[in-house]
Structure 1
Amino acid sequence: MRIDIHNHTTRCNHAEGTVDEYIQKAIELGIDIYGFSEHAPMDFDPHYRLAFEEMQAYTDDILGAKERYKDDINILFGYEVDYLPGHMDDRVLHAKVDYLIGSVHFIDKWSFDNPEFIAGWKNKDIDEIWQAYFEATEAMARSGKFDIVGHLDLIKVFKFLPKKDVRLLAKDALHAIKRSNMVLEVNTAGLRKPIGELYPSRELLEEAYAHDIPITFSSDAHSVEQVGFGYDLATTLVKEVGYTKAATFEGRDRQLVIF
C-alpha cells in the first residue's frame, strides 16, 4: 500500500498544477491513497494559504475529484493547519475532513522556514531557536486538535543545527505526541531543501518508534513533479528503523495498513 497524504493545490498561492494533474501523477506512480491537505486559512500570513472564502471551492475540488477517480485511487481530504495560538479558526478545526495536520511554521510569528525571512537566524542562539520550536510542537500536540504532526524537525531546513542532542530537544514534544495519539508524517520535502534529508531525521524516527508513535508518508508536493518524491528512500529508512505499517484516515478515524 503506497500512501502520500500531505499535498497542496494552487489555492495556497505557492503551488503549481491542477488537482487532476496531481492525481493522475499519483495513479501513474502506483499510489493507492493520496491526500490533499491545503494550507488552512487564518487571519495571519494570508499570501501563503487558502482564503476563507475559498474553503467551499477547495472542498468541492477535492471531493469532486474523489468521486471522479474512485475506481483508480483513494483520495483523502484534509488541511495543514499552522499552530499559531490566537489565529487558528474553528471553521477549519471543526471542518468535515479526513484528517488535520498540525504544523509549526512560526516562532513568535517569525516564519523561520521561509527564505524571505532567513535573516531572522542571524545573531540568534541556534539551540534556543530549536528549543522554542519543539516547545511549540509540544503545545500543538497537547492541544488535541490535530491528527498528524507535520514535518517534525522542519526547523533544520536551512542547516542551522543545534549543539544540543536533538533527541533531548524533542523529548517532551515526542511524549506529547504519544499522549495525544497523533501520527508522525515521514515527509520527503526536506530532500529538496538545503538540509537534504527527510523530516524527521533517523534519530527522531528511532525515538518515535521507541515510543510506539505511528507514522504515515507524504511528499508535501507543491508541483506535479514532486508527487511521490523520495517515497522509496522514505520506506527503506522506516523499515530499517522497524516500522511495517503506516496510517491512513477516513473521517478522522485512523487505521494502520502494511506499506
Structure 2
Amino acid sequence: MTIKFDLHTHHHRCGHAVGEIEDYVGQAIDYGLHYIGISDHSPYFYSEEDQLYPTIAMAKSEFIPYIEEVLRLKEKYKDKIHVLLGIESDFFPNYQTLYRDEYLLHPFDYIIGSVHYVYDVNIFKKGRWDGLTTAEQVKVKEQYYELIQQSAKSGMFQILGHIDAMKGFYPAFSEIKTDMIENTLKIIGEANVAIEINTSGKTKDCGGWYPADDILERALFYDVKVTFGSDSHKPERICDDFDLVRERLKEIGFKEWAYFVEKKMVMTDL
C-alpha cells in the first residue's frame, strides 16, 4: 500500500494563505491521505514586534495557539488521519540558539528548515538579480547554498525546504554555474536530513518543482533522503502532483521516501 502524505501546508496565520487548519485536515481526509503535516511559517522570534511581516509569517503571539490547535486536531481526527505538528522555520545563522530553544519546548513531529533570505534580501524578491554581473550572481547563489549547508549541519531540522527555490521568479538561477550544489548535497547526505520535493514551484515563473531533476539525480548519488510537500496555501492544493512526483522519483532511481513522526524518520516504499 502506498502511504499518502503531505508535510508542507500553510493556513491564514502566515498572512498569505487562506483557510483554517481544519480546512486542510478535512481536505486531506477527502483526498485519502494517511498523514497531513501542518507547517506554517515560524514567527520572527528575534523581533521586538509581535508580527514583523504580517504578510509573510505568523505573529509571535500566535505560536502557542497554533501548536495547541494542531494538537487538538491531531486528537480530534486520530481515527481518520494522522495530523502531524510541523513548522516551516526560517534559518538565520545568528539566531540559531533562539529558534532552537523555542522549538525544543514543543512536541514537533518535524521542522522544515528553509532559507528565505540571502544577504538580507528575500529570495523571491523580483528584481534582486537586476544589474548583477556574472560574478555577483555566482556569489549570491553560493551564499544561498552556504546557508543551506549550515542549516543541514545545525541539527535543528528534519527536512530542508525547497532547496533551489531561488529560481522561483528567476528561472535563469538554475544556469548559474557553481560547484556549491554538489558540495551541499554531500553535506545533506552526511547530516541525514531529508529534502522535500516541493510542488509549489509550478505556480511560480520557473514552472517546475523544487528541486529540479538534475539536483535530485545528484541527491540520490549522495544518499539524500527525500520527502513530499505541496507547500499548499489553499486546501485544494494539498498533495498536488503527489503521484507524478512518485513516478519521477522512481524513474530517477529512488526506491523509498520519508515522513516524520516525533522527529523520527519513517521510510516508506515509493
Match of 1:230 in 2: 241
- Do the aligned residues in 2 keep the contact of 1:188 with 1:198 (CA within 8 Å)? yes
Match of 1:123 in 2: 131
CA distance in 2, matches of 1:175, 1:46: 34
Give the TM-score, by structure 1 length: 0.93
Give secondary structure in 2 for the equivalent of 1:71: coil
CA distance in 2, matches of 1:91, 1:176: 24
Alpha-carbon deviations, 1:155-193, whole Å to 9, x = none?
A: 111113254446x33012112111211011111010111
Match of 2:196 in 1: 185
Match of 1:82 in 2: 90
Q: Which amino acid letter does the alignment assign opposite residue 46 of structure 1?
A: Y
Report deviation, 1:139: 1.3
Match of 2:62 in 1: 54
Paired residue for 2:11, among 3, 9, 12? Answer: 9
Paired residue for 1:209, among 220, 225, 248? Answer: 220
Give secondary structure in 1 for the equivalent of 2:258: strand
Give secondary structure in 2 for the equivalent of 1:39: coil
Give secondary structure in 1 for the equivalent of 2:156: coil
CA distance in 1, matches of 2:175, 2:265: 37
Distance 1:87 1:231, change over 3 A: same
Match of 1:110 in 2: 121
Distance 1:91 1:52, change over 3 A: farther
CA distance in 2, matches of 1:240, 1:109: 38
Match of 2:71 in 1: 63
Give the TM-score, by structure 2 length: 0.89
Match of 1:93 in 2: 103
Q: Percent identity?
A: 31
Report deviation, 1:81: 0.8
Give secondary structure in 2 for the equivalent of 1:7: coil
CA distance in 2, matches of 1:239, 1:221: 23
Higher mean displacement: 206-215 or 243-252: 243-252
Paired residue for 1:73, among 77, 81, 94? Answer: 81
Report deviation, 1:9: 1.6
Q: Return 5+ residue gaps in structure 1 as ranges.
A: none
Alpha-carbon deviations, 1:121-140, whole Å to 9, x = none?
A: 21123332222211111111
Distance 1:86 1:240, change over 3 A: same
- Do the aligned residues in 1 keep the contact of 2:100 with 2:156 (CA within 8 Å)? no
Paired residue for 2:153, among 138, 142, 156? Answer: 142
Report deviation, 1:55: 1.4
Q: Which amino acid letter does the alignment assign opposite residue 53 of structure 2?
A: P
CA distance in 1, matches of 2:210, 2:259: 18
- Do the aligned residues in 2 keep the contact of 1:126 with 1:162 (CA within 8 Å)? no
Q: Which amino acid letter does the alignment assign opposite residue 92 of structure 1?
A: E
Give secondary structure in 2 for the equivalent of 1:184: strand
Number of residue pairs matched by the alignment: 255
Match of 2:34 in 1: 32
CA distance in 2, matches of 1:136, 1:112: 12
Match of 1:19 in 2: 21
Report deviation, 1:211: 0.9
CA distance in 2, matches of 1:253, 1:235: 21
- Do the aligned residues in 2 keep the contact of 1:127 with 1:162 (CA within 8 Å)? no
CA distance in 2, matches of 1:162, 1:215: 20
Report deviation, 1:222: 0.7
Match of 1:175 in 2: 186
CA distance in 2, matches of 1:38, 1:225: 16
